Amino acid sequence: MRYLKRRAIHGALLLLGVSVLCFLFSDLAPGSFFDEMKLNPQISPSTVSALRSQYGLDQPLPVRYGRWMMSVIRGDWGYSFAYNTPVRSLLLARARNTLLLTVSATLLSWLVAIPVGTWIAGRAGRWEDRIVLTGTSLFLAVPELVLVLFLLYWVVRTHALPAGGMTSAGFDGLTPKSKLWDLTAHLVVPVTTLVLVSLPILIRHVRTSMVEALRAPFVQAARAFGIGRTRLLFRYALPVAANPLISLFGLSIAGLLSGSLLVEAIMGWPGLGPLLLEAAVSRDIYVVVGAVMTSTLFMILGSFLADFILVIVDPRVRLE
């Protein structure tokens, strides 16, 4: 319990710090939301300043921060200037879309990486191993941008899958089954990109951990008792190899809201990424802060989850 309390306090402090920095940096960046309007000759300066004071943008920074903090405590995350809606509902909708993408990609990556990495570790040094290692190096070297553009190009040429967006036109009028089908079709390209980006690293990490674990004396000892190859891999080596992998898994969770920005932007996927990008450029300050805070929250949850799982899985960690 002490431990949980400590982690909760840490997390809260981190969120606080991030929010302060966010406000600070946004303020340091030159300009504000209504600057574009100022350039428009048809809008008078007094209108602009009236709008500014309506949104409280003429107040000094600490006051703005204090007000924001107070409203967050009440559950109100501020207002988006550009969309004219409360930040909270905007963020939740977008975050849901992003999670749809990233959760599928993360699950798929891990489900492929663990068996492949384990199998490869059992064949370390042989030709299967070399092929996989070369393949992963290749994919690591290709930038995410190139990958997604390549897939997009191929999809456009063959018309096999939709080339962007999350849903087709007329989505709401479809039957539930067709809706699912449509969504899945739209998911294929972005998820494939994300998987291809993260898979090489995961496979390598799994492989390294497993090779290390297989070399351990207790695995050799188990082998000396006649325990078979498969059992050695999964019952003896994998639980011990799991330690570093669990931390990696925590990182995967941590990046669930932030890792897909590029793909979303290019594919036109209505997720958190494009929203954040837009908001940052147009100084839609409360959206920026809200999005960053949500990302940070995920990061904290991710690392906490990793530590929690570690304690459950590894009996040695329990007493520290």
Partner 1 sequence: MGIEAAAKRAVKAPLMTTRGLSKQYVQRSAFSRNKFVIDAVAEADLEIAPECLTTLVGESGSGKSTLATCLALLERPDRGEIWFEQKEISRLSDRDLRPLRPRIQMVFQDSAGALNPRFSAAQIIAEPLEVQGRETGQGLRTRACELMEEVGLSPDWADRRPLEFSGGQRQRLAIARAIALKPALLILDESLSGLDLSTQAQIVNLLLDLRDKHALTYLLISHDLSLAEQVADFVVVMHQGKIVERGTRHDVFLRPRHPHTQQLVSACHVVEAAFRTAQAGGQP
Partner 2 sequence: MSTPSDTVPTGASPLLSVRGLNVTYGRGRRSAPALCAVNFDLAPGEIVGILGESGSGKSTLALSLLGLLADKAIIEGSIVFQGQELLEARESCWQSIRGARISSIFQDPGLALSPVMRVGDQIAEVIRAHRPSNRKALKQECEAILREVRLPEVERVYNAYPHQLSGGQLHRISIAQALVCRPELIIADEPTRSLDVTVQMEILDVLRSINRKWGSALIFITHNPALLAGFADRVIVMYAGRIVEDGPATRVFRRPLHPYTKGLLQLIPGGSQQENVMQRGRLPAIPGSLTDADRLTQGCIFEPRCSARIALCQEESPTEIAPERGRRVSCFNYGD
Binding residues for partner 1, per CB under 8 A?
Answer: 1-4, 311, 317-320
**Which residue from 104, 156, 143, 142 is spatially nearest to 267, judged by alpha carbons?**
156
Burial class (CB in 10 A: 0-12, 13-18, 19+), 57: middle
Nearer to partner 1, 74 or 318 (CB): 318
Residues β-bridged to residue 86:
79
Cα dihedral: 144, 148, 149, 152 (round 10)? 180
316 near partner 2, rule: CB under 8 A:
yes
By beta-carbon proximity to partner 1, the closer residue of 277 and 309 is 309
| N-terminal to C-terminal alpha carbon distance within the chain | 14
Q: Smallest distance, Å, CB 82 to partner 2? A: 52
Question: Residue 94, class by beta-carbon neighbours within 10 Å (0-12 exposed, 13-18 middle, 19+ buried)?
Answer: buried
In the complex, the smallest distance separating the C-beta of residue 306 from partner 2, rounded to whole angstroms, is 17
Question: Rounded to whole angstroms, what are the CA distances from 155 to 192, 265, 314, 319?
Answer: 12, 17, 45, 53
Q: Looking at beta carbons only, is 129 or 307 nearer to partner 1? A: 307
How many Å apart are CA 102 and CA 264, to the nearest integer? 10
CB of 131 to partner 2, least distance (A): 20
Instruction: Closer to partner 1 by CB, 278 or 307: give it.
Output: 307
Output the smallest distance, CB 226 to partner 2, in A: 4
* Contact mark string toward partner 2, 215..244, x via CB under 8 A: -xxxxxxxxxxxxx--x---xx--xx----
The site partner of 37 among partner 1, partner 2, none (C-beta below 5 to 8 Å per kind) is: none
173 counts as binding partner 2 under rule CB under 8 A? no
List of residues contacting partner 2 (CB under 8 A): 216-228, 231, 235-236, 239-240, 313-316
